[in-house]
C-alpha cells in the first residue's frame, strides 16, 4: 500500500496473524528506503484489504484467526512525517466475507466479493462513502 511516497505493509501471517505495520520511504529513483515499524493495528489480521483516501489508510475485513472473519473497518491518518496515528474502528458487521477486494475511487471505498466465491454464486458489490458504513 502506498500513501504519499511511503510504502506500508499491514499485518500478515507468520505462524499466527500479525498486527504489525511497517513503512519505508520510496526514493525519487524508485528504490525503497529503510523499513521501520509503525503503529500496530488494533487486532492481528491477515488476508485483509486496505485502501487509501484523504491521507488515511483504511483496513477492511481480513482474518484475525484461521477460523474467524473480521467484519470491521479501521482507519489511521498519516502524519506529516509519514507515521500513522491511532487506529479507529469505523464500522463493523458490514462485510460479507474475508477474501474480498477493495478499491478507492472518488472518495468512495468499494468492496467486491472474492473471485473464489463468485465461481459458486454471483458476486456482490458493497459501496461506502468516505466515512459512512458500507451499504449494498
- Going by C-alpha positions, the residue among 13, 20, 17 that lies closest to residue 35 is 20
pLDDT at 135: 43
**pLDDT single digits (tens) 1-26:** 899 999 999 999 999 999 999 999 99
> What is the C-alpha to C-alpha distance for residues 136 and 112, in angstroms, rounded to an integer?
11
Q: Are 19 and 40 in contact (CB under 8 A)?
A: yes
Grid coordinates of 55: 491521507
**pLDDT tens digits, 111-132:** 544 433 333 334 444 444 444 4
pLDDT in tens, 72-116: 889 999 998 889 999 999 877 665 455 555 655 445 544 544 433
Amino acid at each position: 500500500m502506498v500513501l504519499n511516497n511511503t510504502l506500508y505493509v499491514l499485518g500478515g501471517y507468520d505462524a499466527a496473524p500479525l498486527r504489525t505495520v511497517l513503512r519505508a520511504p520510496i526514493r525519487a529513483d524508485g528504490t525503497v528506503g529503510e523499513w521501520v515499524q509503525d503503529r500496530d493495528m488494533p487486532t492481528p489480521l491477515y488476508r485483509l484489504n486496505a485502501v487509501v483516501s484523504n491521507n488515511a489508510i483504511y483496513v477492511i475485513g481480513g482474518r484475525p484467526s484461521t477460523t474467524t472473519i473480521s467484519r470491521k473497518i479501521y482507519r489511521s491518518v498519516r502524519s506529516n512525517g509519514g507515521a500513522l496515528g491511532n487506529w479507529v474502528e469505523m464500522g463493523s458487521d458490514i462485510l460479507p466475507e474475508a477474501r474480498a477486494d477493495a478499491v478507492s475511487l472518488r472518495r468512495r471505498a468499494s468492496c467486491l466479493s472474492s473471485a473464489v466465491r463468485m465461481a459458486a454464486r454471483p458476486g456482490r458489490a458493497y459501496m461506502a462513502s468516505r466515512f459512512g458504513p458500507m451499504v449494498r
